Amino acid sequence: MRGTKMLILIVIQLICFSSCQPKVMTETTMAKPMEIVPVKPQAIVKNIIFLVGDGMGLGQLSAGTYANGNQSALEAFSVIGLHKPYAQNKLITDSAAAATAFACGKKTYNGAIAVDKDKRSIPTLLEEAEEKGLATGLVASSSIVHATPACYIAHNEYRKNYEEIAADFLDTEIDYFVGGGLKYFQRREKDDRDLTKELQARGYTISDYFQADFKSVVPDSKTNFGYFTADEEPIPVSMGRDYLVDAASKSFPFLKERSNSGFFIMIEGSQIDWGGHANDTDYIISEFLEFNEVIKEALAFARADGETLLVVTADHETGGFAIQKESTMDSIAGAFTSDYHTGTMIPVFAYGPGSELFSGIYENTDIYHKMREAFGWSASGSSGQ
């Protein structure tokens, strides 16, 4: 990384020295021949928007692009890289180990929620952001205690301990969260706590699908905000789920108002993965098309804001999905080699200040380190392995 930065500096200086040298030497230029041409300071990264399409490999985003009239919001990104998604104990990762890699910069075992291979809690980017006074958010089209969002806010040895993961929401001051899983907060089997009441007692505005349609909800940035979109897992887009784009577009101005220091938010298109597990091409495509709209909203915000780094990737590919020879642009015929995740490398798309850090081929854990570097936070001292 340092090498790359140095190389960029040298290249910029070479370009400036070669193209900025006047043809005729004047007295002034002669007087200071070796003056360093100042490099224009880069825009700072105040906010990071991290978009994760669970199970979105190259096949999935290709199929979604073709099915969308041969275009997607990803084509607006000029910095593209690849990450290696393998876990600490398996070549084929699950979403928990993969999200821990993104959230904490450590490879761990499949099933781990922000704990290392010895089941010790490791700090997450979201927790660090909270400590530094940034506003934070999590949005998912799964339950909010599902592996991908859970790894930013909870620490647990096993991803399916949903009630324990829900209780960990009380350990941070997350500013904005939207997703399913109300029952793990409100009607718990292992204790009688009502975590929605506990959050409200701390000043949160909490609502759910039963009380109000998300479309009609206007989050007030004077208080922390949580909204539950389902009792357990939200339904697929094809069956009528429609909150993800709205939850994304409302989050950006909300978080910007919450803190002058910036924000971090992770937004997950959770069910592209479930289409892969179901070996269902239409499921994959409909979920991708919604996720594509989320990317558009994030791009529009990042473009206007100028201090926002936007990173889009997936945790892994699901289904070994490939587009078959019978396919046309309007009618994708997909085939699958698996009903589980595969080990293929995963594309990363970055936009905005700091985006140049994300080109090349690297470990999934490096995404965490690159985000820290973009924020200007000190190195965490972890090798990432």
Choose the stretch contacting Mg ion; rule: CB under 5 A; options: 114-122, 248-256, 268-276, 286-294: 268-276
Nearest to 39 by CA among 15, 9, 2, 14: 9
Lookup: tokens for 277: 């597990």
> How many residues contact Zn ion, by CB under 5 A?
1
Please identify, among the stretches 58-66, 144-152, 173-181, 336-344, the one whose residues bind Mg ion according to the rule CB under 5 A.
144-152
Q: How far is the CB of 211 from Mg ion (least distance, A)?
A: 26
Residue 54 binds to Mg ion (criterion: CB under 5 A): yes
Distance in angstroms (rounded) separating the CA atoms of residues 273 and 153: 21
**Residue sitting closest to Mg ion (CB):** 148
Q: Least Å distance between CB 168 and Zn ion? A: 22
Q: How many CB atoms lie within 10 A of CB 96?
A: 27
Could you tell me the smallest distance in angstroms from the CB atom of residue 146 to Zn ion?
Answer: 10
Interface with Mg ion (CB under 5 A), residue total 4
Under 8 Å between Cβ of 121 and 133: no
**6 to 25, contacts with Zn ion by CB under 5 A?**
none
Q: Which two tokens stand for residue 101?
A: 């890699």
Instruction: Work out whether 95 is an interface residue with Mg ion (CB under 5 A).
Output: yes
Q: How many CB atoms lie within 10 A of CB 343?
A: 16
Q: Look-up: residue for tokens 């298109």? A: 269
Is residue 148 near Mg ion by the rule CB under 5 A?
Answer: yes
Q: Which two tokens stand for residue 143?
A: 């339950």
Q: Does 273 bind Zn ion (CB under 5 A)?
A: yes
| E strand or H helix that includes residue 251 | helix 244-258
Could you tell me the smallest distance in angstroms from the CB atom of residue 234 to Mg ion? Answer: 12
**Would residue 338 show up in a list of annotated catalytic residues for this protein?**
no
Q: Tell me which stretch binds Mg ion (CB under 5 A): 265-273, 283-291, 323-331, 343-351.
A: 265-273
Q: Which does 148 bind (CB under 5 to 8 A by kind): Mg ion, Zn ion, none?
A: Mg ion
The nearest distance, CB 304 to Zn ion, in angstroms, is: 34
Using CB distances below 5 to 8 A depending on partner kind, what does residue 270 bind out of Zn ion, Mg ion, none?
Answer: Mg ion
Choices 257-265, 268-276, 281-289, 350-358; region in contact with Zn ion by CB under 5 A:
268-276
Using an 8 Å Cβ cutoff, are 144 and 230 in contact? no
SS3 208: strand
Smaller CB distance to Zn ion: residue 246 or 273? 273
**Is there a contact between 374 and 309 (Cβ–Cβ < 8 Å)?**
yes
The rounded Cα 142 to chain-centroid distance in angstroms is 14
Question: Residue 168 binds which entry of Mg ion, Zn ion, none, with Cβ cut-offs from 5 to 8 Å by kind?
Answer: none
Catalytic, out of 62, 72, 78, 95: 95
Q: Is 270 in the site for Mg ion (CB under 5 A)?
A: yes
| C-alpha–C-alpha distance, residues 158 and 109, integer Å | 10
Binding part of the chain for Zn ion, among 30-38, 60-68, 173-181, 270-278 by CB under 5 A, reads 270-278
- Interstrand relation of 322-323 and 334-335 (parallel, antiparallel or unpaired): antiparallel
Q: How far apart are CA 91 and CA 45, in angstroms?
A: 33
Say how far apart CA 349 and CA 377 lie, in whole Å.
22
Task: Classify each residue of 223-233 as buried b or exposed e, where b means 16 or more C-beta atoms within 10 Å of its C-beta.
Answer: ebbbbbbbbeb
Q: Residue 108 binds which entry of Mg ion, Zn ion, none, with Cβ cut-offs from 5 to 8 Å by kind?
A: none
CB of 100 to Zn ion, least distance (A): 15
Give residues in contact with Mg ion (CB under 5 A). 54, 95, 148, 270
Give residues in contact with Zn ion (CB under 5 A). 273
Q: Active-site residues: which are they?
A: 95
